[in-house]
């Protein structure tokens, strides 16, 4: 009997240990208050607030700004699907498991999840949810909602989500406050951050509302703002919820200070600028050099009522340029594409149209350490020659740099070189026109939707015509423009994509062969190159920043050697102007403007301004056709979701 009791005493703990091992994630590591791609976190577990936020910032007032540069419209409050044109701010409406720090390259810290643990083999991540988290209607936010959000985004969301989440096998609710994501493959570095920053939807709400349909009914969220009113295509107003469940968490202290945030839309940039001068809205970021140089000297600026500033931008500058649709002839010929690059005279454009404010973009990773320069390093060359896919001699040589012209607008040397390339490609001149062996003319159309681009496109078209190309411009309305891009119904268009400090899975959406074939893809050029695909995976799979930098530079070399775009220009700063009724922390987040979430309404400044300024005329935004108060909320940013948000915005932050 004694032996039997001893056996039972031994078996009991062993059985419990076996059960625990079965229930635990494989190779579980320690729980942490945040995550980053390479494990480095600047803030300790007991941090009180982000360094760039003022925890004493007062709440109140309204902050109004122009939507998408003031030249677009919207017909939907769902920006997580392919259908429709969504209003601005909707990607900011939902809480996430963790939220980014604006002063770190890729770190996220606990929001809905108080902590997370990544398995030592990195093939899973487990999040521990805060039991106090709830949606705006008071219902509890549970692991089931998190699992539902993942499933619906992957199955019914924009195709980009399916691509981004293709290596996430499943999400499962371990208990009401614990969620585990399981991964597959070798490229799992960014996946914990990707799933940590997905928006969280209410499973109960979408049981009664179709997720995959456009709608003007605000959805149920769990963030700090509600939708107060909507005037379709003209205005959307968000109202701060004083009972926001997470308002006192360290990641939110000193943030989301405005009682209301209002986005105004206008028929064109001229109308939006005049409305700003009249005080119809408060804040404007200027993307047009001519306007910045010539129109920001109006009376309110001279009187000090409107402040004009230039803020530093330490993020990669983006990939703005004329993107060439290689799905179409003759743009599938690299010689034709290179000729188109030679025909664009940036130096003339910068001097005569931009007031010398810009620098020529050379790299897909401009303004970052990931830009390739000169000849490849030993590490870059070793990577490029070991891909198992062919790499051009140009990619293995000195990184391609767009030509510098004589600034005349029609550099004869460059145009002659371009003509020779077209001749080599079989497009010869007959009676002043480039034709192929069949006598068919070389025709190219540049598609755009903002009239401000006409002054930039017209000189380029003229140079193309000098080469014998039947080049033309086509301006369409924003809705038609978006549809044509989704269907790849264009020859050439202008686009800008923002790169992250730690690029990852979004590169597949921009440049992969898979994305080239996907409806609504952001791979506008139709890039389909095994070497590019392999390098994208090397970037995603980098184990440290040195590996990341080497892989990104190698990718940059191959992309630039492919001549998939005619690069435009950049400026490593933000041009902003605002009516002087706001204050802000002394420190700006290094990798963000930090305006919507860290500035605050200054009552004293506002009173002084009001005493000196007549009330602006109403614009009719939300005075009619409104949707009443509802349960929609706002939160700023997320890493993977922000990458998609940048992408889905398309060219709305293009400069000039």
Report whether pLDDT(634) > 70.
Answer: no
Give 199-232 pLDDT, tens digit per residue: 999 999 999 999 999 999 998 999 999 999 999 8
- Return the ∠ at Cα 16 (arms to 13 and 20), rounded to 5°: 135
Q: How far apart are the first and last CA of the chain?
A: 88
φ, ψ for residue 321, nearest 5 deg: 175, 180
The residue length of the chain stands at 656
Distance CA 226, CA 137 (A): 11
Q: Which domains does the chain have, with CATH numbers?
A: 78-215+636-653 (3.40.190.10), 230-315+572-612 (3.40.190.10), 321-570 (3.10.105.10)
What is the per-residue pLDDT for 635? 27
φ, ψ for residue 76, nearest 5 deg: -155, 150
Give 26-63 pLDDT, tens digit per residue: 444 689 999 998 888 999 999 999 999 999 999 999 99
**Chain position carrying tokens 């993107």:** 323
Report whether pLDDT(582) > 50.
Answer: yes
Show the DSSP H helices in 198-333 as ranges: 203-206, 269-277, 289-294, 299-302
Angle between helix 530-541 and 545-562 (nearest 10): 160
Distance CA 537, CA 108 (A): 23
What is the per-residue pLDDT for 72? 66
Closest Cα partner for 534 from 518, 551, 517, 522? 551
DSSP calls for 470-519: EEEEEE--HHHHHHHHHTT--SEEEE--PPPSS--THHHHHH-HHHHTST
Decide which of 14 and 376 is more confident. Answer: 376
φ, ψ for residue 203, nearest 5 deg: -60, -40
Give 388-443 pLDDT, tens digit per residue: 999 999 999 999 999 999 999 999 999 999 999 999 999 999 999 999 999 999 99
Report whether pLDDT(517) > 70.
Answer: yes
Whole-number Cα distances in Å, 282 to 243, 272, 511:
26, 12, 37
Mean pLDDT of 92-117: 94
In this prediction, what percent of the chain has a pLDDT beyond 70? 88
Report whether pLDDT(8) > 50.
Answer: no
How many other β-carbons are positioned within 10 Å of the β-carbon of residue 317? 23
Report whether pLDDT(349) > 90.
Answer: yes
Distance CA 526, CA 514 (A): 10
Report whether pLDDT(579) > 50.
Answer: yes
Asked if residue 330 has a cis previous peptide bond (ω within 30° of 0), the answer is yes
Mean pLDDT of 51-76: 86
How many other β-carbons are positioned within 10 Å of the β-carbon of residue 259? 16
Closest Cα partner for 597 from 611, 614, 585? 585
Distance CA 277, CA 272 (A): 9
Distance CA 498, CA 413 (A): 33
What is the per-residue pLDDT for 549? 96
What is the per-residue pLDDT for 645? 40
Work out the pLDDT band at 100, boundaries 50, 70, 90: very high
**Do residues 262 and 601 lie in contact, with contact meaning Cβ atoms separated by under 8 Å?**
no
**Do residues 340 and 414 lie in contact, with contact meaning Cβ atoms separated by under 8 Å?**
no
Distance CA 9, CA 2 (A): 10
Mean pLDDT of 462-485: 93
Mean of per-residue pLDDT scores for the chain: 87
Whole-number Cα distances in Å, 600 to 55, 241, 582:
11, 16, 6
Show the DSSP H helices in 361-446 as ranges: 378-384, 393-396, 412-424
How many other β-carbons are positioned within 10 Å of the β-carbon of residue 615? 7
Mean pLDDT of 493-520: 90
What is the per-residue pLDDT for 491? 97
φ, ψ for residue 271, nearest 5 deg: -65, -40
What is the per-residue pLDDT for 615? 56
Q: Say what the pTM is.
A: 0.74
What is the per-residue pLDDT for 654? 58
Mean pLDDT of 635-654: 40
**Do residues 538 and 383 lie in contact, with contact meaning Cβ atoms separated by under 8 Å?**
yes
Distance CA 293, CA 412 (A): 30
Return the minimum-mean-pLDDT range out of 5-19, 172-186, 292-306, 360-374.
5-19
User: What per-residue string of b and e applies to 418-427 under the rule 16 or more CB within 10 Å gives b?
Assistant: bbebbeebbb
Give 157-199 pLDDT, tens digit per residue: 998 898 889 999 999 999 999 999 999 988 888 899 999 999 9
What is the per-residue pLDDT for 268? 82
């Amino acid at each position: 009997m004694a032996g039997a009791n001893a056996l039972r005493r031994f078996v009991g703990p062993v059985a419990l240990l076996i059960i625990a091992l079965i229930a635990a994630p494989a190779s579980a590591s320690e729980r942490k208050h945040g995550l980053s791609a390479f494990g480095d976190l600047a803030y300790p577990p007991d941090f009180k607030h982000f360094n760039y936020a003022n925890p004493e910032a007062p709440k109140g007032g309204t902050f109004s700004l122009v939507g998408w540069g003031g030249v677009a419209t919207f017909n939907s409050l769902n920006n997580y699907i392919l259908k429709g044109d969504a209003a601005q701010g909707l990607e900011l409406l939902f809480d996430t498991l963790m939220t980014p720090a604006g002063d770190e390259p890729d770190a996220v810290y606990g929001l809905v999840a108080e902590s997370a643990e990544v398995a030592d083999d990195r093939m899973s991540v487990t999040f521990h949810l805060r039991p106090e988290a709830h949606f705006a209607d008071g219902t509890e936010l549970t692991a089931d909602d998190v699992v539902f959000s993942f499933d619906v985004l992957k199955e019914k969301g924009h195709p980009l989500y399916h691509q981004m989440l293709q290596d996430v096998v499943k999400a499962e609710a371990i208990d009401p406050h614990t969620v585990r994501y399981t991964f597959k493959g070798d490229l799992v570095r960014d996946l914990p951050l990707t799933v940590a920053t997905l928006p969280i939807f209410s499973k109960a709400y979408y049981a009664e509302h179709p997720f995959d349909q456009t709608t003007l009914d605000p959805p149920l969220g769990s963030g700090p703002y509600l939708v107060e009113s909507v005037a379709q295509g003209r205005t959307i107003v968000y109202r701060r919820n004083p009972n926001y469940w997470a308002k006192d968490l360290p990641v939110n202290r000193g943030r989301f200070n405005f009682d209301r945030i209002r986005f105004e839309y206008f028929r064109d940039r001229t109308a939006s600028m005049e409305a700003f001068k009249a005080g119809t809205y408060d804040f404007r970021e200027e993307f047009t050099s001519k306007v910045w140089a010539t129109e920001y000297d109006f009376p309110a600026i001279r009187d000090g009522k409107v402040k004009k500033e230039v803020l530093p931008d330490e993020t990669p500058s983006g990939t703005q340029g004329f993107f060439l649709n290689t799905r179409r002839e003759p743009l599938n010929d690299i010689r034709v594409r290179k000729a188109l690059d030679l025909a664009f005279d940036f130096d003339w454009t910068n001097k005569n149209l931009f007031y010398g404010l810009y620098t020529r973009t050379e790299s897909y990773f401009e303004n970052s350490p990931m830009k390739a320069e000169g000849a490849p390093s030993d590490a870059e060359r070793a990577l490029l020659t070991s891909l198992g896919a062919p790499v051009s001699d140009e990619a293995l040589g000195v990184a391609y740099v767009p030509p510098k012209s004589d600034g005349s607008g029609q550099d004869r040397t460059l145009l002659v070189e371009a003509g020779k390339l077209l001749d080599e490609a079989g497009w010869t001149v007959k009676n002043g026109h480039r034709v192929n062996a069949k006598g068919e003319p070389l025709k190219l159309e540049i598609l755009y939707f903002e009239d401000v681009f006409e002054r930039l496109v017209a000189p380029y078209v003229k140079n193309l015509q000098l080469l014998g190309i039947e080049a033309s411009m086509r301006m369409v309305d924003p809705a038609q423009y978006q549809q044509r891009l989704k269907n790849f119904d264009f020859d050439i268009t202008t686009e800008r994509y923002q790169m992250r400090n730690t690029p990852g899975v979004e590169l597949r959406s921009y440049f992969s062969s898979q994305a080239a074939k996907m409806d609504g893809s952001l791979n506008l050029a139709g890039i389909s190159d095994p070497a590019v695909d392999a390098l994208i995976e090397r970037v995603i799979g980098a184990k440290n920043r040195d590996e990341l930098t080497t892989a990104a530079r190698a990718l940059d070399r191959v992309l630039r050697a492919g001549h998939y775009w005619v690069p435009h220009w950049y400026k490593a700063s933000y041009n902003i102007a605002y009516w002087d009724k706001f204050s802000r922390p002394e420190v700006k987040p290094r990798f963000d403007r930090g305006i919507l979430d860290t500035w605050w309404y200054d009552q004293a400044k506002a009173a002084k301004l009001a005493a000196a300024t007549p009330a602006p005329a109403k614009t009719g935004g939300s005075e009619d056709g409104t949707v009443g108060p509802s349960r929609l909320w706002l939160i700023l940013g997320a890493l993977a979701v922000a990458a998609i948000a940048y992408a889905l915005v398309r060219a709305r932050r293009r400069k000039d």
